[in-house]
Amino acid sequence: MKLAVLLSVVAVCHTATVKHERRFPDDFIFGCATAAYQVEGAWNEDGKGENIWDYLTHTNPTVIRDQSNGDVAADSYHHVERDVEMMRELGLDAYRFSLSWSRILPTGFANEVNQAGINYYNNLINEMLKYNIQPIVTMYHWDLPQRLQELGGFINPLIADWYEDYAKVVFDNFGDRVKLWITFNEPREICYEGYGATGLAPILNATGVGTYICAKNLAIAHAKAYHLYNNEYKARQGGECGITISVNWFGPLTDSEEDEFAAELRRQATWGLYAEPIFSAEGGFPKELAARVAEKSAEQGFPWSRMPEFTDEEKKFVRGTSDFFGVNHYTAFLVSATKHIQQHAVPSLLDDIGVGSYVPPEWMKSASSWLTLAPNSIYNALTHLASKYNNPVFYITENGWSNDPTASLEDDDRVTYYRAALESVLNTLDAGVNLKGYMTWSLMDNFEWLKGYTERFGLYEVDFSSPERTRTPRKSAFVYKEILRTRTIDNSYEPSSLIMTIDEGH
Ligand code: GBH
């Protein structure tokens, strides 16, 4: 295998003591990311319909840590120029944002298109293009129209048709200028945290059942949008259509066979469930996981496996439906077959796999309980995916670090994280992985879902107490800018002040 050869070459180079300056290729795309509900605000302005996050935060505010919501958020709906100005300050090649389905189709259905919503995204895209900043558009980042949730959301197989109708409106309106489409952001978070647990809206908590049904329906919905684009738009519009999956690294705690299998099961349950139907040659759900869930279901008295199957026709329809593999990567966990095992609800996905997970105390901690700085985890995740799925084109569509709202603008922990992450990106490129771009999460502070405004991910701080939602660059913004400008990582670089300007040509 070509990749295996390249990997061993890299291993040899790493043992050499010669230090050479490593550069990011000139055509490597650097950007930042956000998502509609987390930044836009204007939750009920100009005809926008209600979505599941409006509904959850308004009817059940105590599930949000600070009882806040995204009604105003960073108010990006009213700050197109300032948002694009920040991209210019940083010198970004690209900006990844998401479309709010219910801002475009207030009821969720395509019978009524909200022109004001279309105008907002047109303004944003056109303002970016003026400065050569490429739009990377996520069509769905968790804000399902509430009416569709009432009809079952991703548990109803009709979601695939509703989503295809929405996709058509989106391609028709923006496809002349948008050349990189991401159908869904993080199916695991939609299906597991939203339907199989209580981590995200609609907090359905249908443990052991909701996740698997959602995973299948979402795969079909994704494939319908992909085929629509491929058959009816691609020749004319010339863009690419893919999906973004959250792929944190899960390695074995020890090199025992049991721990290796435990890690593999954990990978299958965490991202294989969403990647395998699309990126594997055979299609369908991951085999060892499917066998385990079928076995557990039988033991538990279910007349069928809680994990649905794809028919041969469905497998064929879904596999190969992504022009690239979008990866959101933050951290890593070590997995054990025997240690650190916790009790979980029966049935549930975590009970199905029954493995333990561990985070070494020496990995630097963020403000988010799930997020530490794990060594070289981008390299571990991407080289694994590349050899598993025949080295597709990859984009890292999110990577980032959280700190406390009261932390200083001198966010040295975030600087440390980004430098380490980008070193790992360089290792990944050296290994021959077909990685084309990297986006930080996030351009600016925003509504961090159930954590409200208590965890901050922005290169720019947002003052949520000011009516203008003033944006101020943190130290990490200057460091990122310098990396983009020089295409290298200089660990000794210190910004001379925290005063931001726009460089010539941006
Ligand atoms: C991404 O999810 C999302 O795409 C983005 O919207 C989000 O803001 C960003 O990362 C940072 O979280 O509340 O402790 O139960 C990454 C996966 C999903 C991990 C939500 C944390 C909640 C854990 N994240 N999950 S917790």
How far, in Å, from the CA of 28 to the mean position of ligand 1? 26
Task: Determine the atom of ligand 1 nearest the C-alpha atom of 448.
Answer: 8
Q: List the residue whose alpha carbon is closest to atom 7 of ligand 1.
A: 448
pLDDT tens for the chain, 506 residues: list them: 445 544 444 444 444 455 568 999 999 999 999 999 999 999 999 999 999 999 999 999 999 999 999 999 999 999 999 999 999 999 999 999 999 999 999 999 999 999 999 999 999 999 999 999 999 999 999 999 999 999 999 999 999 999 999 999 999 999 999 999 999 999 999 999 999 999 999 999 999 999 999 999 999 999 999 999 999 999 999 999 999 999 999 999 999 999 999 999 999 999 999 999 999 999 999 999 999 999 999 999 999 999 999 999 999 999 999 999 999 999 999 999 999 999 999 999 999 999 999 999 999 999 999 999 999 999 999 999 999 999 999 999 999 999 999 999 999 999 999 999 999 999 999 999 999 999 999 999 999 999 999 999 999 999 999 999 999 999 999 999 999 999 999 999 999 999 999 999 99
Task: Determine the atom of ligand 1 nearest the C-alpha atom of 185.
Answer: 4
Task: Determine the atom of ligand 1 nearest the C-alpha atom of 368.
Answer: 14
Q: Where are the domains of the chain?
A: 25-250+323-330+366-486
What is the spatial distance between Cα 279 and Cα 326, in angstroms, rounded to a whole number? Answer: 12
| Helical residues (DSSP H) of 185-286, grouped into ranges | 187-188, 210-232, 234-237, 257-267, 273-279
What is the spatial distance between Cα 36 and Cα 100, in angstroms, rounded to a whole number? Answer: 6
Say if residues 80 and 129 touch (Cβ distance below 8 Å): no
How far, in Å, from the CA of 218 to the mean position of ligand 1? 19
How far, in Å, from the CA of 431 to the mean position of ligand 1? 28
Q: List the residue whose alpha carbon is closest to atom 24 of ligand 1.
A: 189
Q: List the residue whose alpha carbon is closest to atom 21 of ligand 1.
A: 370
Residue 487: Cβ within 10 Å count: 14
Q: List the residue whose alpha carbon is closest to atom 23 of ligand 1.
A: 199
Catalytic sites, residue numbers: 186, 398
- Amino acid present at 423: E
Residue 248, token pair as written in the block: 């944190």
Three-state SS at 336: strand
25-250+323-330+366-486: CATH, from 2.40.160.20, 3.20.20.80, 3.40.50.300, 3.40.50.1860: 3.20.20.80
List strand residue ranges (DSSP E) for 337-379, in order: 356-358
Cis upstream peptide for 442 (omega within 30°)? yes
What is the spatial distance between Cα 435 and Cα 419, in angstroms, rounded to a whole number? Answer: 17
What is the spatial distance between Cα 432 and Cα 428, in angstroms, rounded to a whole number? Answer: 7
How far, in Å, from the CA of 185 to the mean position of ligand 1? 11
Q: List the residue whose alpha carbon is closest to atom 15 of ligand 1.
A: 199
How far, in Å, from the CA of 189 to the mean position of ligand 1? 8
Determine if the pTM surpasses 0.85: yes
How far, in Å, from the CA of 271 to the mean position of ligand 1? 14
The pocket around ligand 1, CB under 6 angstroms, is made up of: 35, 38, 185-186, 189, 193, 199, 246, 328, 369-370, 398, 441, 448-451, 457
- Ligand 1 test: best mutation among 40, 96, 185, 186, most atoms within 8 Å of CB? 186
